Amino acid sequence: MTAGLTAGRDLAGIPPLLQVANLTVRFGPVRAVDGVSLDVAAGPFGLGLVGESGSGKSTIGRAIVRLVRSSGGSIMFAGQDVRALRGPALKMYRRNAQIVFQDPDNSLDPRMLIGTTIAEVLRAHQVVPRTAITERVAALLAEAGLDPAFAERYPHQLSGGQRQRVAIARALSVQPQLLVLDEPTSALDVRTQAHILKLIARLRSERKLSYLLITHNFGVVSELCEQTAVLYLGKIAEIGATKMLLRAAAHPYTVALRSAVPEVNVAGRRSRIVLPGDPPDAANPPSGCVFHPRCPLAVARCRTEVPELRDAGPGHQVACHRAEDVLAGAQMPTRRRPPAIARPEGAAGSEHL
């Protein structure tokens, strides 16, 4: 599957569709998002937000579509200040920026027919004349790869993948320019995930969509996003072209995150970087670099001095004191994966049943 990524497209001079600058979101004393800046180019364009639970990636997505209140910074969409929108202007913005959630079980009303769910949006935003609603619902379902007859079904009569297609069709019904896809495939089987990712790739080129793809799995962004931001405890650890982050990451966290992704073909040949412990508590963040307690390369400076996001190459920024060492191939403690087929002694010949 190739999404036809436009990594080579010259985006210089074209104002980005969405500009997030120094965004902060606080929940009480907790800084869930702490000074994040991102640009999303006009479509077709994909920006991946990658990080573990608690990294703030979903909160960023929700702040952008105005589902959570941001406490500082700015969000500009096509020249408009999103944080200041009220009334009709906010309603208009919601047509332009839509979100698809991880779990379609919770985002679809179980008592509403699929067709009604989508028709409700078309009516609320007066997207098409009343008489054309049924026809448009059918067209949207077909575009999402579903039989238009599903309009007459309830969510529980559909599979998880089909429900996620409905959620995507609903988001597309208002013809948005920007989609926030919040872990759209994490609740699905791998094969269903592949089908949904293909659907996103198709819609991206057909509709010239811009999207933020939020995930904890590098494998998911690798095929769909030109740019990726790696988040850790509410901050950007590293941001740049996805290809480059996969090939030559400058932050030890990016390297570790990438090495944690299971792959079929390299089992037993690659070693994985050990990342001890869980991400720290955002209510009580570590001093200095927030990643230092888990970082295999941490030195004294990392415990006291917060690393600023700085250039690590063209279109590539990193917040790490030791970025140069990482780029130069500094060794991180690894755990060699035993060959996947290391059979205990005496098992030979007993494989065929």
How many CA atoms lie within 13 Å of 267's alpha carbon, on the beta-carbon side?
8
Q: CB–CB of 245/230 below 8 Å?
A: yes
Q: Which is nearer to another protein, 8 or 338 (CB)?
A: 338
Could you tell me the smallest distance in angstroms from the CB atom of residue 222 to another protein? Answer: 4
Could you tell me the smallest distance in angstroms from the CB atom of residue 217 to another protein? Answer: 6
Q: Which is nearer to another protein, 86 or 191 (CB)?
A: 191
The residue type of 243 is: K
Could you tell me the smallest distance in angstroms from the CB atom of residue 276 to another protein? Answer: 8
Contacts with another protein, residue ranges (CB under 8 A) = 1-2, 52-53, 159-160, 189-194, 197, 216-220, 222-223, 242-243, 246-247, 256-258, 260-265, 267, 272, 275, 278, 335, 337-338, 340-344, 346-347, 350-353
Q: Which is nearer to another protein, 1 or 12 (CB)?
A: 1
Could you tell me the smallest distance in angstroms from the CB atom of residue 329 to another protein? Answer: 17
Q: Which is nearer to another protein, 53 or 131 (CB)?
A: 53
The Cα 100–Cα 171 span in angstroms is 7
Which residues are CB-contacts of 323 (< 8 A; sequence separation ≥ 6)? 250, 251, 310, 312
Q: CB–CB of 97/65 below 8 Å?
A: yes
The Cα 183–Cα 106 span in angstroms is 14
Beta sheet of 80-81, edge-to-edge order:
30-40, 18-27, 72-77, 80-81
The Cα 80–Cα 95 span in angstroms is 14
Q: Which is nearer to another protein, 143 or 183 (CB)?
A: 183
Could you tell me the smallest distance in angstroms from the CB atom of residue 104 to another protein? Answer: 14
Could you tell me the smallest distance in angstroms from the CB atom of residue 331 to another protein? Answer: 19
The Cα 113–Cα 65 span in angstroms is 26
Q: Which is nearer to another protein, 56 or 176 (CB)?
A: 56
* 3-class DSSP string for 211-233: EEEEECCHHHHHCCCCEEEEEEC
Could you tell me the smallest distance in angstroms from the CB atom of residue 353 to another protein? Answer: 5
18: which 2 tokens? 């969405």
Helix 160-172 × helix 114-124 angle, to 10°: 20
Q: Which is nearer to another protein, 263 or 305 (CB)?
A: 263
